[in-house]
Amino acid sequence: MQSKRWDAQPFIVVFVTLICLHVILMAVSRLYPFIDLPNHLAAATINRYYGDSSNMFSTYYSLDLFPKPNVFHLLFCSLPVFGSVELANRIFLCLSVILLPVSVLLLIRKLGGNRWLSLLSFLLLYNYNVTWGFLGFSFAIPFILFFLYLCIDFIERGRWKTGGAAAGLLVLLFFVHALAALFCLLIFIVYCLLSGKTPIRIMERCAAIAPAAVLLIFWWNAEGAAYRGQGIADYLEEYYDQAYLAAFADRLTIFYQDNSSLFLGTRGVAAGLFFTLCIIVPVLAAAILRRKDRHRKRIKGIRPAMILFAVSLACIIVLPRDLPHQAILYQRFSPILLLSSILLGGCLLREKIRRPVIIGICIVCAIHLALWTDYLHDFNERNRTFTPEFFPPAGGGRTLAGLISKFTYRGVPVYIHFPAYYIIWRQGIATTSLVDYRFGSVRRAVGFDVLPKYLEWAGRMKIYDGRYRAMDYILIRGEFPTQKVEHFADFTLMRSADRWFLFERNR
């Protein structure tokens, strides 16, 4: 049972204060150093203004929204009720900040665990998925926990009202992110098999996942019919035969990747490892103390947390690094594994925990907030001159390409998709990897001769083949060798600010 003594009101004050401070941090930031975010904002901008006479989106891009997964952020941010796509995205990020700790708190209370452990979820607000700009998957994480919350009543007690809610939430998850929906299907099946129910009861329970399963199958068959690349079966056979064991040690990065963006190099690794240990150590300590307790009783309600932990760990161990035209796969599950560890810790520490431990948790959360506040503030200070006014007007179908030489901020490649701000701020036409994603909803409507394939890693490769020679503008960050490359002979510097340079093609 939750303690209702001295710590009830202090917990509420700390919990709400942390949420409010993180929401303020998201709300006041003008730019966000989240790698793929500009592409998501560009997709929402194209959808919102598609077909307007003020732009040429319909000439260069095409939309394919249904039945497509991963479109929730796009549709949310393109709603006309919001003043702009960026305002909608700011609200979206604020909701993410609220939903993650709330989902952890509700689930810990459902499991009968200690609510103070839920504060550790704040250490994962800016996890690996967020810093990489995987907004759909990061937003789906709290909904995975809400789904597990509903499964407890449905699978264990057969409450069909919660079963219907779980079925609806699973369908919603498909549109938030298909990988999260697949993960929930796996959790549901494992939970059913371990519930001790008869096969008939398990079959009855599986009716709740049927709508989402049908949607996933329909989408995958449609996607597969249009795909012309290497088959997944052939890719996986080759991957597990040649690359899996050779690169297995790379999976140890899950122990520090979620907060390593805070600093460059080893300092970032140390920061990530520190916050991960702040989550893991209390759980390990509680497990050791429980093992030494000769009079320990069986912990009721811990099974859902154990299932979440086991399934997320299995995904990290078994899944490949990527799929054809779909990068970064197993790494996405590290925050879910750590959140399941928090749930386990809450279950193991059901009784009132000591004040020094509570104070320590609060101090760690405050340090985490301070570091990320500095991270976002410093990023915006460095990019004060990167504004809509830096870009030229987009009239007449003017096109822009990007060559980002200096593409990192504290070692993270946050600038590689910044040319997309020409789409976001000016409703212009820009080269973007967005149109070439395998599972994307925005496609190219013209050939590579009209809209060249975007060189997102031009700064890393230090190679430029002149593919942008017919573009109207080239946006450069850093010192790309414009004077030594013949492909820039027809371009003149239009304006510059800090490390940003805008070149215009001579007419």
Q: Is 402 helix (H, G, I), strand (E, B) or coil?
A: strand
**Distance, CA of 362 to CA of 279 (rounded, Å):** 13
- The Cβ of residue 453 has, within 10 Å, a number of other Cβ atoms equal to 13
Mean pLDDT of 374-403: 95
Say which residue the tokens 């795909």 belong to.
227
pLDDT digits (tens, 9 = 90+) for 103-147: 999 999 999 999 999 999 999 999 999 999 999 999 999 999 999
The two counts, helices (H) then strands (E), for the chain are: 19, 7
CA–CA separation, 318 vs 240, rounded Å? Answer: 10
* Exposure letters 46-66 (e unless 16+ CB within 10 A, then b): bbbbeeeeebbbeebbbbeee
The candidate with the shortest Cα–Cα distance to 127, out of 301, 258, 37, 278, is 258
Mean pLDDT of 12-16: 97
CB 398, CB 428: distance < 8 Å: yes
Q: What is the structure's pLDDT at 299? A: 76
Decide which of 295 and 424 is more confident. Answer: 424
Q: Specify burial of residue 117 (Cβ count, 10 A radius: 0-12, 13-18, 19+).
A: buried
- Angstrom CA distances, 460 to 88, 131, 186, 405, 416, stand at 32, 19, 38, 7, 10
pLDDT digits (tens, 9 = 90+) for 229-286: 677 888 999 999 999 999 999 999 999 999 999 999 999 999 999 999 999 998 888 8
Residue 449: CB partners within 8 Å, gap ≥ 6? Answer: 470
Name the band, by pLDDT with cuts 50, 70 and 90, for residue 400. very high
User: What pLDDT sits at residue 3?
Assistant: 44
Closest CA to 47 of 27, 71, 70, 23: 71
| Four-CA torsion 334, 331, 251, 366, nearest 10 degrees | -40
4 pLDDT more than 80: no
- Which residues have CB under 8 Å from 79's CB, separation 6+? 88
Mean pLDDT, rounded, of the chain: 92
2: pLDDT strictly greater than 60: no
Closest-CA residue to 44 (of 3, 104, 10, 90) = 90
| Pairwise CA distance, residues 187 & 3, whole Å | 30
Read off the pLDDT of residues 296-325 as tens digits, 9 standing for 90 and up: 667 777 999 999 999 999 999 999 999 887
Q: What percent of the chain has pLDDT over 90?
A: 79
